[in-house]
A and B are shown apart, each in its own frame.
Chain A
Amino acid sequence: MKEENARAYWAANLRLILTYLAVWFAVSYGCGILLVDELNQIQFFGFKLGFWFAQQGAIYVFLVLIVMYAHSMNKLDRKFDVHED
């Protein structure tokens, strides 16, 4: 039972990581590098959108991702009863 719980917790963690890393990849490598020319056709305030992602947007999204991951994991830790104190 204990082992099964640990395995389920780990699988749930891996799912979270993969989801968040997909976003991480999309904003930096996707919007900031691979699709930058296409996105630069779009104007976002005073920025070309691709350029904005590369020099501003990606960093903001990274920050949001870490905060969301930390929050989701705190919930997951409690749900599977593996939290500290």
Chain B
Amino acid sequence: MDIQTLTYLFVGGSFALYIGIAIWSRAGSTKDFYVAGGGVSPIANGAATAADWMSAASFISMAGIIAYSGYDASVYLMGWTGGYVLLAMLLAPYLRKFGKFTVPDFIGDRYYSNVARTVAVICVIFVSFTYVAGQMRGTGIVFARFLEVNVNTGVVIGMAIVFFYAVLGGMKGITYTQVAQYCVLIFAFLVPAVFLSIMMTGHVLPQTGFGGTVLDVAGGDSGVYLLHKLDQVVTDLGFTEYTEGSKSTIDVFFIAAALMCGTAGLPHVIVRFFTVPRVKDARISAGWALFFIALLYTSAPAVGAFARLNLIDTVNETQYTELPEWFYNWENSGLIGWVDKNGDGAVQMRAGAPFEGKPTYAGSREETKGSYGERVLTNAPTDNASEVYIDRDIIVLANPEIGNLPAWVIALVAAGGVAAALSTAAGLLLVISSAISHDLLKKTLMPGINEKQELLAARGAAVVAIVIAGYFGINPPGFVAQVVAFAFGLAAASFFPVILMGIFYKRMNKEGAIAGMLVGLIFTFSYIVFFKFVSPELNNAEHWLLGVSPEGIGTFGMILNFAVAFAVSRVTAPPPEHIQHIVEDIRIPRGAGEASAH
């Protein structure tokens, strides 16, 4: 069977599975819809959280980012896993004991204020929408690449699938499809990783192959450590040493903190912990989630290193006419571009951009063939020796081809990419719809509606959210890619501090919480907007506050949030007696069963 048929088979089969699960797990009540009835096992919740959390970006882009930036990418690895420690110890068990449905629910009740609740709803919607647009786009791109349909058709197919199980099944449907999606995506990520590891180092585990020695051409042990060789090869070509960083320590520190606290503060991650039966399940479930995530996150840096070395070995100083087939294929998709600056017909990989921007071609390969048969670029070349542009996103998608792996592995990677994008999109859409139907309608605007009406409103809100997300997927606002990373900064500067203080600082009152949330949010938002959109030309270390980039500024916003909230709470009245009792109650595990059975 050819790759195309296999891909249809794998992707189609996985869709059939998700739809089957959706029909089997329909939601009958608002509790089913918002928190899957509160009866999900900690292991299943861990797998669902992992799929919820790992987006198209984790699956497709992360290994590529690591391959290109080496040590500098460590901040993503630590930042996106370290947040689970904070979740397990500081947030998840107490929010589970509190036993409500959403994050704004906790903020509104704990701070006895519908203003606080509404501010939280706005934050939820803003953070989740920026995130979900990228997922829809990711689904479309995977479809376009592997199934040769138009990107927009891909987005529509993705919308239809998510529509089916998110609207029908709510959290219950999403939970069990996410478990299935996790299995598909982790298998799809690990199979090529293991193949590559065996091929390059003889180790079955990528995690040990990463620190192993490379095999020589005959398949014998060369005695040279992979990372050592990689350091040498890249520095010879003029790149920064792979295992050394180029960012300033303070910036790395702030980015890591923003990613960790942002992860712990992301509403779609937090609500997953409302679905387990007991407080102790919430704690260990965070452990399972991190275990499932770590399978991918500890393999990705190995894949990045293997791919970088493999890529240089295969491409650098090779005659264009003698390159492997995949090079031409990805050149056709616009993700590779070559300009023969020195006229020797061979491809030189060197530090620096080969030309301005992403490749744009003068015409099709047939119309405008270059002297070696390459596609002719219209980009203005730079004056360094670097000749080739290879998009970072290729690394994971093309690894099976670069490593000469069997066709079914390529089909599997396609199904994995779609699973990663759909699972995250569904989790985000649910958070948006429950913020609207539960927090905005039921708790604020129309407290009179009954459960049936609320459930209908939740489904309606999910439909609207899917349509809007799909619209952004088809017409992506130019800023999506830049903004997704900032969802973390905003979550770190708004939710994380107010939830934390709501649990650990009994004296925190509504005035402090609202002031803190607004200051953190507005500060972070303005800083990012200023450097990314208003004056992008000033976006460098010289102009940054204390040398902190927009990616790391959420940490600063978080500190401001804490400070302002504390100061304001000291000069205003303490929270009422019954709120202080709520705080005492959420600190004690016993009674979680009753609390959730309201």
Rounded to whole Å, the gap between the CB of A64 and the closest CB of chain B is: 9
In B119-139, the 8 Å CB interface with A consists of: none
Q: Contact flags (1/0) for A42-58 with B, using CB distance below 8 Å? A: 00111110011011101
Q: Contact flags (1/0) for B137-160 with A, using CB distance below 8 Å? A: 000000000000000000000000
B290 within 8 A of A: yes
Q: A36-B245, A46-B211, A51-B227 are in contact. Are A70 and B283 (CB under 8 A)?
A: yes
Q: How far is the CA of A66 from the CA of B282 in the complex (A)?
A: 11
Nearest opposing residue in chain A for B231, CB measure: A48
B256 within 8 A of A: yes
Main secondary structure of the interface of B (DSSP, over half): helix
Q: A6-B587, A29-B256, A40-B243 are in contact. Are A84 and B88 (CB under 8 A)?
A: no
Contact B89 A84 (CB under 8 A): no
Contact A84 B592 (CB under 8 A): yes
Contact B249 A58 (CB under 8 A): no
Q: Contact flags (1/0) for A68-79 with B, using CB distance below 8 Å? A: 011001100100
Contact B593 A59 (CB under 8 A): no
Contact A20 B253 (CB under 8 A): no
B71 within 8 A of A: yes
Rounded to whole Å, the gap between the CB of B80 and the closest CB of chain A is: 10
Contact B82 A9 (CB under 8 A): no
Nearest opposing residue in chain A for B90, CB measure: A17
Contact A24 B85 (CB under 8 A): yes
Contacts of A33 in B (CB 8 A): 75, 249, 252-253, 256
Leading 6 A-B pairs by shortest Cβ distance: A54-B74, A46-B211, A46-B225, A66-B287, A70-B283, A55-B301
Contact A58 B89 (CB under 8 A): no
Contact B294 A60 (CB under 8 A): yes
Contact B287 A63 (CB under 8 A): yes
Contact B280 A20 (CB under 8 A): no
Q: A59-B297, A63-B290 are in contact. Are A84 and B280 (CB under 8 A)?
A: yes
Contacts of A63 in B (CB 8 A): 287, 290-291, 294
Contacts of A29 in B (CB 8 A): 253, 256-257
Q: Contact flags (1/0) for A16-45 with B, using CB distance below 8 Å? A: 010011001000110011101000100011
Q: A29-B253, A82-B588 are in contact. Are A66 and B84 (CB under 8 A)?
A: yes
- With most chain B CB atoms within 10 A of its CB, the pick from A28, A52, A55, A84 is A55
In B32-82, the 8 Å CB interface with A consists of: 66, 71, 74-75, 77-78, 81-82
Contact A65 B85 (CB under 8 A): yes
Contact pick for A56, options B75, B256, B301, B588, CB 8 Å: B301
B236 within 8 A of A: no
Q: How far is the CA of A10 from the CA of B589 in the complex (A)?
A: 11
Contact A67 B287 (CB under 8 A): yes
If A33-B252, A46-B212, A51-B71 are given as contacts, then 11 extra A-B residue pairs at C-beta distance below 8 Å, sorted by A number, are A9-B587, A21-B89, A29-B257, A32-B78, A33-B249, A46-B213, A54-B71, A54-B77, A56-B298, A70-B88, A84-B279
Q: A63-B287, A69-B283, A70-B88 are in contact. Are A46 and B226 (CB under 8 A)?
A: yes
Q: How far is the CA of A55 from the CA of B208 in the complex (A)?
A: 12
B207 within 8 A of A: yes
Contact B290 A66 (CB under 8 A): yes
Rounded to whole Å, the gap between the CB of B187 and the closest CB of chain A is: 20
Contact B85 A60 (CB under 8 A): no
Q: A29-B256, A55-B77, A59-B81 are in contact. Are A69 and B89 (CB under 8 A)?
A: yes
Contact pick for B278, options A21, A66, A85, CB 8 Å: A85
B532 within 8 A of A: no
Jot down 23 A-B pairs with beta carbons below 8 A, ordered by A.
A28-B260, A29-B253, A32-B78, A33-B75, A45-B208, A45-B211, A46-B227, A46-B228, A54-B74, A58-B77, A59-B81, A59-B290, A60-B298, A62-B84, A66-B290, A67-B287, A69-B89, A69-B283, A70-B284, A83-B280, A84-B280, A84-B590, A84-B593
Q: How far is the CA of A65 from the CA of B84 in the complex (A)?
A: 10
Contacts of A83 in B (CB 8 A): 280, 589-590
Rounded to whole Å, the gap between the CB of A51 and the closest CB of chain B is: 4
